[in-house]
Structure 1
Amino acid sequence: MNVVLARIGKPHGLRGEVTVQLHTDDPETRFAVGTVIETEAEPGSGVPTALTIASTRVHRGIWLITFEEIPDRSGAESLRGARLVLPESNPQVEDEAFYEEDLVGLEARDLSGEKVGTVSGLEIGPAQDRLVLTLTDGVTAYVPFVKRIVPVVAEDHVVVDPPPGLFDLYREGTE
């Protein structure tokens, strides 16, 4: 299984630039100009198995990347939904990095070990990431994915220690 570094979003402009949703905490290193990045895409999509970084920039908090192999907007459109990946055997993968695929489906427990919900996603944010939890009553809640609030990530569960009242904020609109 590969580690997802980013997901390609929509094209930006006419020259092959694409938006990316980052799943790495070190985009400057991972997406350095000249780096060849492997891809994962739907079979038959025509997405190359690897792309070479031609340029990167941040525009209004969103990372934009161009690839040497993609010269224009129509080529960029064909990349939508593809993942930029790092082979799992690569020694550059950080030990404390967690990826959406690793987290979704894990049971979420409070400090006493009681189940409070299930991890249903990971939102990558410009300042910090957020775990998306489906609470036991079906309400969706968002928890900052920081060590103080999510102190434990184990193989089958995460431990969450949210500030008092955090989950109640999400329940207020559902009553």
Structure 2
Amino acid sequence: MQWFRVGRIVNTHGIKGEMRIQVTTDFPEERFASGEQVYAFVGNEEHRPLTVHSCRPYKKGYLLVVEEVKNLTEAESLKNLELWVPESHLHELEDGEYYQHEIRDCQVYTASGDEIGRITDILQTGANDVWIIRPSSGGKDVLIPYIDDVVRHVDVEQKKVVIDLIEGLIDE
């Protein structure tokens, strides 16, 4: 079974078992909605199912309450654990939307067919995502904004992305 990271418990909050989480999903309101299930990984294989009671924005993260945690001591035992969901829990996306795991490792080409490199990571900047591309020819990574003026075509099945190379995007 394939698992996908959706967050990390970074601290506790208060004495009733609330936990501060750093979210790594594009859909926190859906992923951490009441009744949803996430899994805290304790080791490489052992995981603990957690049922969301409530979740709300707090500063730069969220405050999470799960039904299985009743107090501060129980919440502290989960501190620094990552939260994951199995592939079967992924939500359907609209056309033109992609999960980050689908974009990573895609080969990037210009509209004229020149190979740029491979997407190795994605930065979430707030305004738009920025794809980090490891050039096929070596050298330093290239940053490509995920905006309509640049990204022309994404084929996650073929792991191929076509971009318009606008002036100044890549140092020559």
TM-score of the aligned structures, taking structure 1 as reference length:
0.72
CA deviations 1:39-73 (Å, max 9, x no partner) are 373213xx31x322223222334334332223434
Shift of 1:142: 2.3
Letter in 1 for 2:143: Y
- 1:143 corresponds in structure 2 to 144
Shift of 1:74: 1.8
Shift of 1:119: 0.4
- 1:123 corresponds in structure 2 to 123
CA deviations 1:117-151 (Å, max 9, x no partner) are 11001223433222111123331222222333222
Identity %: 18
More strand by share: 2
SS in 2 for 1:82: strand
Letter in 2 for 1:101: H
SS in 1 for 2:149: coil
Letter in 1 for 2:82: G
* 1:20 maps to 2:19: no
Letter in 2 for 1:31: F
Segments of 5+ residues of structure 1 without an aligned counterpart are none
Letter in 1 for 2:93: E
Letter in 1 for 2:65: T
Larger Rg: 2
CA deviations 1:138-175 (Å, max 9, x no partner) are 3122222233322211122111235421222xx8xxxx
TM-score of the aligned structures, taking structure 2 as reference length:
0.73
- 2:159 corresponds in structure 1 to 156
- 2:92 corresponds in structure 1 to 93
Letter in 2 for 1:159: V
Task: Answer whether contact 2:12 2:79 (CA < 8 A) is retained.
Answer: no
Segments of 5+ residues of structure 2 without an aligned counterpart are none
- 2:82 corresponds in structure 1 to 81
